[in-house]
């Protein structure tokens, strides 16, 4: 069943989030957001909701910052890291290197001197 624009606007203006509007009107958040955008484009002065998730939605900022600082003592094993390339093999660049005119440049890696005298 189609929701009348008057009903949508009233619900939008009295709600605290897009999710609240969507749930009340039995539509997805994407549909509610698109409808609001269409109405705004037509000139309807709908209020704006803050973007993103509500603050503190299961996010432990202190623990994540401690993890970044290396202070995590939660007993969990360290995350695996990529193996290092053997010392005798040069690493290939992640992206092709381009010159001034945008053309790929061939990189030449000098051979290591093997003077074992």
14-57 pLDDT, tens digit per residue, is 999 999 999 999 999 999 999 999 999 999 999 998 877 666 56
In a domain? residue 14: yes
Torsion sign, CA atoms 12, 14, 17, 21? negative
In a domain? residue 31: yes
Q: Which two tokens stand for residue 86?
A: 């053997």
In a domain? residue 75: no
The span from the CA of 4 to the CA of 77, in Å, is 55
In a domain? residue 77: no
Other C-beta atoms closer than 10 Å to the C-beta of 49 total: 16
In a domain? residue 111: no
To the question of pTM greater than 0.95 for the whole model, the response is: no
Number of domains in the chain: 1
The span from the CA of 37 to the CA of 31, in Å, is 10
Phi-psi region at 46: left, alpha or beta (left = phi > 0; alpha = psi -120 to 50): beta
pLDDT at 36: 94
In a domain? residue 59: no
In a domain? residue 30: yes
Segments forming the whole domain that contains residue 17: 5-41
């Amino acid at each position: 069943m189609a929701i009348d624009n008057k009903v949508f606007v009233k619900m939008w203006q009295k709600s605290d989030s897009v999710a609240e509007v969507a749930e009340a009107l039995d539509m997805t958040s994407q549909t509610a957001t698109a409808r609001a955008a269409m109405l705004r484009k037509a000139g309807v002065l709908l209020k704006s909701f803050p973007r993103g998730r509500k603050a503190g939605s299961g996010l432990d900022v202190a623990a994540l910052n401690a993890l970044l600082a290396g202070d995590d003592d939660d007993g969990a094993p360290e995350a695996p890291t990529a193996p290092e390339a053997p010392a005798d093999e040069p690493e290939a660049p992640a992206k092709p290197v381009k010159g001034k005119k945008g053309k790929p440049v061939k990189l030449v890696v000098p051979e290591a001197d093997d003077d074992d005298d």
